[in-house]
């Protein structure tokens, strides 16, 4: 329950309706007219939104992203879907701030 007595709702982390579309694929760098915003599971760091071309979006391989960049992308996407109150220290603490489960991220 939330503080006002209503059941807490879990945001849809795969909702990209409020995520910005970039001008090039964030995986391969190509500029095309058919780019789309997709979500990508960045391992234990979380879910991020990325602009991708159809080829990269259909790949089963996650884009190579450094941990610091992954944290920034996950925080940005959290803001897009309306998750408030997260900061890098919570994400890097070793516990998922949403589920409370341990993460593999360590600094």
Of the two residues 66 and 87, the one the predictor is more confident about is 66
> What is the chain's mean pLDDT, rounded?
80
Global pTM exceeds 0.75 = no
More confident residue, 103 or 77: 77
Distance between CA atoms of residues 75 and 79, nearest Å = 6
Structure tokens belonging to residue 74? 């996950």
Q: How much of the chain, in percent, has pLDDT values that exceed 70?
A: 69
Q: Looking at residue 49, what is its pLDDT? A: 95
Question: Rounded to whole angstroms, how far apart are CA atoms 79 and 64?
Answer: 22
């Amino acid at each position: 329950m939330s503080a006002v007595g209503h059941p807490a709702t879990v945001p849809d982390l795969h909702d990209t309706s409020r995520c910005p579309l970039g001008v090039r694929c964030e995986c391969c760098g190509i500029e095309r007219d058919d780019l789309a915003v997709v979500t990508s599971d960045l391992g234990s760091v979380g879910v991020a939104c990325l602009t991708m071309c159809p080829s990269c979006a259909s790949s089963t391989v996650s884009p190579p992203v450094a941990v610091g960049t992954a944290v920034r992308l996950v925080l940005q996407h959290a803001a897009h879907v309306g998750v408030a109150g997260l900061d890098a220290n919570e994400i890097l603490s070793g516990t998922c701030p949403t589920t409370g489960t341990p993460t593999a991220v360590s600094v």
